Amino acid sequence: MAKRKTVVISLGGSLIFPDGGIDTKFVAGFKRLVARRADVGRRFVLVCGGGTICRAYQRAASIVGKPTGEDLDKLGIEVTRLNAKLMRLAFGAKAHPEIVFDPTAPVRVSRPIVVGAGWKPGSSSDYDAVLLARKFGADTVINLTNIDHVYDSDPRKNPSAKPIKEISWGEYRKMFGSKWVPGMNSPFDPVAANLARRLGLKVAIVNGRKLKNLEALLDGKKFIGTLIG
């Protein structure tokens, strides 16, 4: 049997659970897209983030208590794991039966879809996706988020913000720094970015809600997004 090409996707939690509740329409559409391609010789490694609901829990914890940064990270990790359990159930028998919590541990995979989640404090699930890309020999991580590009400034605050189609890791670090803050909302976790740079990986930032655009990327066609590295 030919070796499967591995596609690693860091799946933003805000796509799974945006404001208003779990987006079952997105989950179902994403499932169909991935399952079709998993049937034709690809392996998908899907690492779920926490997103909006994660930050809501972290804000609440900070209001009612005095959590440390590590406490907030651990709280966020639990949210990523709940999101991952939902995605694993969505894929049913196509998915590896165990969710990958430790991306450095040995894992023997016989099914075409692997679902992972947050691991330990100090970074986001993007970092786990980079570690799994190294483990499975992928050269690119697809980061599915709710924006179309990385921009030269925050488009929520600056209507004139310009989209960036390609950017080096050095330029990315100048824009977003190299330190992790629990609950931070950057296009790609700066700790993960540092590791991806050292490993020579590329990261594609893509709006996960636009599934046809994701299809184009998976098919090697022109896509809308930002390529880092």
The model's pLDDT over 187-196, given as tens digits with 9 standing for 90+, comes to 899 999 999 9
Domain count, the chain: 1
Q: Which tokens go with 151?
A: 């921009």
The model's pLDDT over 94-147, given as tens digits with 9 standing for 90+, comes to 999 999 999 999 988 989 999 999 999 999 999 999 999 999 999 999 999 998
**Domain span at 42:** 5-228
Of residues 81 and 153, the one with the higher pLDDT is 81
The model's pLDDT over 60-98, given as tens digits with 9 standing for 90+, comes to 999 999 999 999 999 999 999 999 999 999 999 999 999
CATH number, domain of 70, equals: 3.40.1160.10
| Residue 130 near residue 139 (C-beta atoms within 8 A) | no
In the block, residue with structure tokens 């914890």: 61
d(CA 151, CA 200): 22
Q: Which tokens go with 140?
A: 């690119």
**Residues above pLDDT 90, as percent of the chain:** 81
Stated pTM of the model: 0.94
Q: pLDDT class for 153, splitting at 50, 70, 90?
A: confident
| Residue 91 near residue 11 (C-beta atoms within 8 A) | no
Residue 184, pLDDT score:
78
Asked if residue 55 has pLDDT above 80, the reply is yes
| Residue 192 near residue 123 (C-beta atoms within 8 A) | yes
With 0-12 CB in 10 A as exposed, 13-18 as middle and 19+ as buried, what is 201?
buried
Q: pLDDT class for 2, splitting at 50, 70, 90?
A: very low
- Cα radius of gyration rounded to whole Å, the chain: 17
Asked if residue 25 has pLDDT above 70, the reply is yes
Residue 210, pLDDT score:
97
Q: pLDDT class for 205, splitting at 50, 70, 90?
A: very high
Averaged pLDDT score across all residues of the chain? 93
- Beta carbons within 8 Å of 73's beta carbon, 6+ residues apart: 120, 121, 122, 182
> Worst-scoring range by mean pLDDT, 4-18, 30-44, 132-146, 174-188?
174-188
